[in-house]
Structure 1
Amino acid sequence: MLKQIEGSHAMAEAIALCRPEVICAYPITPQTHIVEGLGELVKEGALVDCEYINVESEFAALSVAIGASAAGARAYTATASQGLLFMAEAVYNASGLGLPIVMTLGNRAIGAPINIWNDHSDAMSMRDAGWLQLFAETNQEAVDLHIQAFKLAEELSMPVMVCVDGFILTHAVERIDIPTQQQVDAYLPPYDPVQVLDPAEPASIGAMVGPEAFTEVRFLAHYKQTLALKLIPEFSEEFSKAFGRESGGLLRTYRAEDADMLVVAMGSVCGTIKDTIDEMREDGIRIGLVVIVSFRPFPVAALRTALAAAKNVVVVEKSIAVGMGGQLADNVDVALRNLPRPPRLHSSVAGLGGRPITRASLHHLFRQASVQPWEGTNFLDLNERVVGREIHRTRKNRRSGPTAENILRQLGKSVPPVAE
């Protein structure tokens, strides 16, 4: 059914249609509206046979979800940014125990300094924690990915993180097709857990494992991720047949068939990139896009095939591994290895802390990549004047003060008063 609805509330309705039995809720911007929406559905009786638990922290939210899932319940939670960091120990516990929890991550920058706007720093901080990570380009895809996520999690008995861009998607109001309960029930079977804590058959989970078995445990977790490379496209195809629209999968392409240059990106920025590509195509520039949906597991083979014929590849990503570069670019580089004639790889970090990524800036970036390739990481729209002044300040004055506040003063922005 088509609705004009906020993205967060659309996701809440889709999650409710998956019949979660335990929802663990703790508010943190920008995911708060999702758990609030689910709370309203439970309160009004639209979501039945579900225990909605208000917990005292993000760590508690995932810890309670772990307990619920271990007891055989279909469990869900959501978080963002610092909340994900606070539950880091439990993030690893959930995957290490092989529990099929679904969690929405409202992507948001990680401080300090404090920043509530969107980038992908939070997801990247847990990229190797053993969860599947699926990135939504649109709110429609965010709705669809949650339904697929429960099926994937329960088939593989491993947790899935559905990553949606904070504010850009979570707070956008638009027309979204919300499935019916009958459609979701036909696609998503009742939860049949692989492991259940049952007093009638006592067992322990998460017990001490020494060197004699730990490698094998980790190998099997990795093995399930490799199985996901096959299941993700299969479940996406099943979804397309059942719901009448394509969504999910490992990756997808846009105007890539004859492209000399291919852009690789994840999340909502792909919409702006598509508009830029359309404009550049009108000027006769053969450029296309590869949208990464599954970041974990990373689709190395599929991406290698998609990029093989390009001369230039430009990775646009919303995160930075300080001291190294872009995490997505590193993974793309792995996919390009062993090609007979690999394309030139260009890495650009963009949109950190919610900075707008404009078509004008993308035009300049893509044209630069075709005529003047660069080494290392490019920072899109970096204010070099401000950076230069701050570097000069730190060299000149030992007590140069906090970088963030100094930059704000340069830009004429207000900063909190210094305590006496």
Structure 2
Amino acid sequence: MKIESLLIHGGIDGDEKTGAVNIPIYQTSTYKQPKFGVNKGYEYSRTGNPTREALEKLVSDLEEGYAGFGFASGMAATTAVLSLFKCGDKIVISNNVYGGTFRVLDKVFNHFGIEYKIVDTSNLEEVKNSMDEAVRAIFIESPTNPLMDITDIEEVSNIAKAKGIYTIVDNTFMTPYLQKPIKLGADIVIHSATKYLGGHSDTVSGVVVVNSEDLAERLHFIQNSTGGVLSPFDSFMLIKGIKTLAIRMDRHNENTKVIAEFLRNRKEIEKVYYPGFEDHPGYEIQNKQAKGYGGIISFVIKKGYDYKKFFNNLEIITFGESLGGVESLACHPASMTHASIPSEIREKVGIVDNLIRLSIGIENIEDLIEDIKNALEESKEND
């Protein structure tokens, strides 16, 4: 089955008992057991719920993995994955990884003796040189948030396999519609499903897909033990959102490419980060491992223009956290998504104060361009 059909019919397709085309919301905490020691496959909804199970099977099918898991947020998903490791282990992470991932490693897991090392994972030599006896996993974003660096997932996975360690990929920006890290050799895939999978800015959720029975057993134990599970209603909402992923991502891709070219030719812009440009350092790798460039653009506004005035003059595009919804969103990474990263690290990698990130929605492209154009013109500082 092709992915456009799998998005609609994958996992558990409909309800066998009633014929309902949508999976019901099993809004229950517990289940009647017919007799002592016997159940119908479910005992308690933290451990298993039919609606969540349908979502988990669906995302596993989409990522072509062994098993999927639904969590209450993207960070709950990331926390569960990091809980696979123990005191003394080290995780190599991409150098402009999402601020929440950095924060949970730096402020939470560090207390348990799990260390991290920041590396430019787009540089394979740097990845190889980062390997020491303590490293147990490489945590990749590709493209990275917000600077759109591209990592060769297959090559990094090969490096990891040679060392007997895990490759973890945050696939939020690309989704399984555009990129399948497990097919490229990754062991674990994470999504903030709040973003493109849900697609409508109405559900906070996270998913994980693993490539083996061993990882599935370990992660299910952690999911059940720590309890950060996705609710039945949010599982239903996520399944609903996923059904339209293909047509949404096609429109995100189409709009974003046009806006990236528009921004590149504006006098107010110093630099545009977009992996769909032929001169982007990761362009060829992106074409090799993905079938599109996604819906995110970041750009640096020139000196003499005020990024705050840019945000304040947007009318159609919403200034706010998050990304991946049908509506376009503008974000200031240095004070929002990456505020938890120390300023010296932010500036070193390029997350400067005048960096703006756009999540391009599915609105009319002419309306979006006009909105950006007006905001840029109004952002000029007073003489």
**The two structures share one fold, judged by TM-score above 0.5:** no
Over alpha carbons, which structure has the higher Rg? 1
Higher relative contact order (CA 8 A, sep 6+): 2
TM-score class normalised by the smaller sequence: 0.3 to 0.5
Say which structure is richer in helix.
Answer: 1
For normalisation by structure 1, the TM-score amounts to: 0.33
Could you tell me the TM-score, scaled by structure 2's length? 0.35
